[in-house]
Structure 1
Amino acid sequence: MSGLYGSSSSHGHEAGTLGRELLDAVIALVLRAGRLIEAELDRPGGPRGWGDKAEVDAEIENLLREGLARILPCDFVGEETGCQVTGHRFCWVVDPNDGTSDFLQGCNGSAISVGLLGDCVPVLGVVYAPLTDQGPDCIAWAEGMPTLLRNGAPVAPSLGANELDSRSVVFVSVAALTQPTRNAKFCAPASFHPMPSIAYRLARVAAGDGVAAVSLYAVSPHDVVAGHALLRAVGGGLWSEQGQALRYSQQATFVQPARFCFGGAAAVCRLLVQRPWHELLNNSHL
């Protein structure tokens, strides 16, 4: 792998310019982890767990943690297995099964989210939803690549010219089904599309399926770093409910906390941020 990373060893690679070879290794690992999600949903009696904790989540993260350390040994922040933060310029940020609550209810669309921060900037993202209504969906990118990859094929949407109009779609959580009238109002003139996993919502926006994705809960970096990288690749971004661009610290935490987040085209997110989304929280958790 010389020429891509600058140097290599049996223990991994020091990242110089990121690119396809590194990304391919991460994608292969994430696809392997996705088989655990498929197997868990096929268990007699359904997946193990309760509330927002599934037993398979830690199993997936352990697999990812071990594999990512071989691909690029650096810092690591995971939802399930904790953090190893030493001040390395690179940091893996992992959610092994974003959308666990919906997953435990048998809902398709939860996603594995693997992001990489380089000097506190999202420089790689792989978001994989093994089970969706359209089949398995893996959306990926690494800095240095000219386009996203979707299920191995290059896709090159541009969010810059997107507008909030009657032809566009805003992705929201499954809980939006409990308040369809208000969600329709806040997304208008676009239509709204409910689905699990903020990571996968952001990834689908980056891939050109929608103009924005909304999350109305206090997201953490492991929820969004991978999706944020994908949005960066196509000229999009990620903002808090205050309209502030989300940024990360050396500890892979947000520089400023985010209660809600809005990802996608800048012009669209500026409009969405101004709408009274807090009204939805009176009767529903989104």
Structure 2
Amino acid sequence: MNCVDLLARVIEQVLSVGKLLAAEWDRPDGPRGSGDKAEVDVEIEVALRRELLALLDCDFWGEETGRRLTGHEFCWVVDPNDGTSDFLLGRRGSAISVGLLQNAVPVLGVVYAPVTNDRGPDCISWAKGTGGVLRNGQILLHRLEHLELAIGSKLLVSTAAVNKAELNAKLCFPAEFIPMPSIAYRLARVAAGDAVAGVSLVPVSAHDIVAGHAILIGARGVLLNQLGNPITYESEAYLSKSSLRCFGGAPRACQELSRRNWDELFIAP
């Protein structure tokens, strides 16, 4: 399987279903759904599942349409709208996330945010064999392996960070924290050079992170769990709950972040 050739076709499918997400955002009465469930999520995943399995008929792990695990070498991992809750609250930056595992290792990722605050439609991708991360069709030469937390660097965190801004500022120091929906999009933007690391402080499953993880690999980055260990996907249990917290980006920065006392944020005032 040539992942480079496959990537172009996956991007085409993701951009196509991205029109559904953008149209949902533009509905006069707002997106359909409540809480963390939007009707468009299922519509997008049904379309993606059909088209991705037509490209490569293998195992499938989806957030909305369930899983098919047969022991195949390859497995598609899909989140049709990572950041649904924020999307339904009117916050820009949720993203379609499509990853591909080969023997439990990420080898392809596409993360597409059709509606953003600062960039317009933004598609970030990578596949094993490409020369680097792609952003909206342009190859990037950005690499993460030598970056560290420093004054002026940025951390991408969840939108909940604004509720305890002072404490988050302390925990992220010396970096500046920037809240945004979608851990998949945070990880992809880190790989594209927008920040030194992306963080999730709540449990994540494979559909949340595999695509972003793949793109980080393309930028020589890492994805670590709450213990500072590399996140893996070699069992159904790890696909279901990949980590309790995750830190993706520059290796030294992520190691340092994993050692900080994030529990402070969850102590009731």
**Fold agreement, TM-score > 0.5:** yes
For residue 44 of structure 1, report the CA deviation from its aligned partner. Answer: 2.1
Alignment pair present for 1:117 and 2:101: yes
Match of 2:115 among 131, 138, 144: 131
Identity in percent: 57
Which of these residues, 153, 170, 174, is aligned with residue 155 of structure 2?
A: 170
Q: 1:104 aligns with which of 84, 88, 113?
A: 88
- Given the alignment, which residue of 243, 246, 256 partners 1:261? 246
Displacement of 1:275 in angstroms is: 1.1
Amino acid at match of 2:164: Q
Find the partner of 1:227 among 212, 215, 226.
212
Residues 252, 87 of structure 1: alpha-carbon distance in 2 compared, 3 angstrom cutoff: farther
Deviation for aligned residue 1:42: 1.3
1:243 aligns to what?
Answer: 228
For 1:9, the equivalent position in structure 2 comes to none
Q: Deviations over 1:39-95 (max 9, x none)?
A: 111112101111111111000000100010111111000000000111100000000
CA–CA separation in structure 1 for the residues paired with 2:84 and 2:240: 26
Report the TM-score, using the length of structure 1 for normalisation. Answer: 0.91
CA distance in 1, matches of 2:24, 2:185: 19
Give secondary structure in 2 for the equivalent of 1:262.
strand
Higher helix proportion (structure 1 or 2)? 2
Task: Give the CA deviation at 1:125.
Answer: 0.2
After superposition, the C-alpha distances for 1:132-170 in whole angstroms (9 at most, x for unaligned) are 122000001110111111000111211011010012100
Aligned length: 268
Alpha-carbon distance between aligned partners in 1 of 2:144 and 2:228, rounded to the nearest angstrom: 18
Q: TM-score, normalised by structure 2?
A: 0.97
Distance 1:282 1:75 in 2: 40
The residue that corresponds to 1:36 in the other structure is 20
Q: Distance in 2 between matches of 1:176 and 1:271?
A: 19
Question: Is 1:182 matched up with 2:167?
Answer: yes
**Offset at 1:256?**
7.5
What 5-or-longer segments of structure 1 have no aligned partner? 1-14
Q: Deviations over 1:263-284 (max 9, x none)?
A: 0111001111111111112359
Unpaired stretches in structure 2, ≥5 consecutive residues = none
Distance 2:162 2:121 in 1: 24
- Determine helix, strand or coil for the equivalent of 1:201: helix
Which residue of the partner structure matches residue 5 of structure 1? none
* CA shift in 2, pair 1:113/1:255, >3 Å: closer
Superposition map of 1:71-82 within 5 A: 71-82=55-66
Tell me how large the CA RMSD over aligned residues is.
Answer: 1.4
